[in-house]
Amino acid sequence: MSLFDLAGQVAVVTGGSKGIGRAICERMAEAGARVVVSSRKIDACEEVVAGIKAKGGEAMAVACNVTHIDQLQHLVDESIKAYGKIDCLVGNAAVNPHYGPMTTIEESAFEKIMNCNIRANLWLSRMVLPQMAERKEGSIILISSIAGIKGTDDIGVYGISKAADMAMARNLAVRWGEHNIRVNTIAPGLIRTDFAKALWEDPEKLASVEAQYPLRRIGEPDDIAGVAILLAADAGRYITGQTIVVDGGSTIAVNGI
């Protein structure tokens, strides 16, 4: 059996209709997993599911606004009803409604970030962990960001939420490791997604950023999907409580951003 084979696994991915989440859904399906594609818009999820099925994969769509706990429970219930279990949870859904200094953020925007980026991942983890523990097997992957390990004047509150996800993964890894459950985070750098479009759509700004990256390019969604497969598969069976930085070297370069 390949170390990167996900055959027999059931993976639930939040924010799975586009960008990094979509790439993870598609690539995990290619690796053999049955995938539950989830986001707020069911039509967008169904589009991803159709693409997976067209390539011979197995997937289903479940609409879920992760800021509503009842919808999180519905996502878990529907996934188990359809596939009998959840082997891998990928907490990818995130928002960032505020761009600018932390001291200027409105309370409503702060609450949106905390509810979506932190609370949802904790509650969803709480819902899937018991059935993983029963089988003595499972993997939780939280999609964080290098904003969680760097200082920034523009997306500081978002960075706080992503640092919290890293701490959450460490704490859950300690508590549930005895049940053979691994919990990790992936911290992407700048990735070519709609979510980060404001940071790369200007050609001059993009060229300036890429010139400072050791790999001389920004990331693509598949760059993150590959690491997610590693953490879900046997290849990552001895990795837990870690944050894997996937940023083209930006955080190790003197002028990296």
Q: Please state which architecture CATH assigns to domain 10-192+221-247.
A: 3-Layer(aba) Sandwich (3.40)
Q: What is the pLDDT of residue 257?
A: 45
**Residue in the block written with tokens 């589009």:** 47
The string of DSSP letters for 40-83 reads S-HHHHHHHHHHHHHTT-EEEEEE--TT-HHHHHHHHHHHHHHH
Q: What is the pLDDT of residue 232?
A: 98
Helix (H, G, I), strand (E, B) or coil at 196: coil
Q: What is the pLDDT of residue 43?
A: 97
Question: Across-strand partners of 138?
Answer: 181
- Active-site hit among 83, 99, 158, 213: 158
User: Is the pTM for the entire model greater than 0.85?
Assistant: yes
Q: Which amino acid is at 100?
A: G
Average pLDDT, stretch 16-41? Answer: 97
How far apart are alpha carbons 137 and 236 in whole angstroms?
13
Determine phi and psi for 62, rounding to 5 degrees: -135, 120
For the stretch 97-123, pLDDT in tens is 998 999 999 999 999 999 999 999 999
Q: What is the pLDDT of residue 24?
A: 98
How far apart are alpha carbons 191 and 173 in whole angstroms?
27
Catalytic residue check, 158 = yes
For the stretch 128-182, pLDDT in tens is 999 999 999 999 999 999 999 999 888 999 999 999 999 999 999 999 999 999 9
pLDDT for residue 256 is more than 50: no
- Buried-exposed string 46-66: b where 16+ CB fall within 10 A, e elsewhere: bbbbebbeeeebebbbbbbbb
For the stretch 61-80, pLDDT in tens is 999 999 999 999 999 999 99
How far apart are alpha carbons 19 and 25 in whole angstroms?
10
pLDDT for residue 7 is more than 60: yes
Question: Across-strand partners of 37?
Answer: 13, 61
Rounded to 10 deg, the angle between the 107-114 and 156-176 helix axes is: 30
Tokens of 92: 């990818």
The separation between the first and the last C-alpha atoms of the chain, rounded to the nearest angstrom, is 40
pLDDT for residue 200 is more than 80: no
Q: What is the pLDDT of residue 212?
A: 86
Task: Let me know if 254 is exposed, middle or buried by CB neighbors in 10 A (0-12, 13-18, 19+).
Answer: exposed
Task: Give residue 14's pLDDT band: very low, low, confident or very high (50, 70, 90).
Answer: very high
What is the residue-averaged pLDDT of the chain?
Answer: 94
Average pLDDT, stretch 203-228? Answer: 91
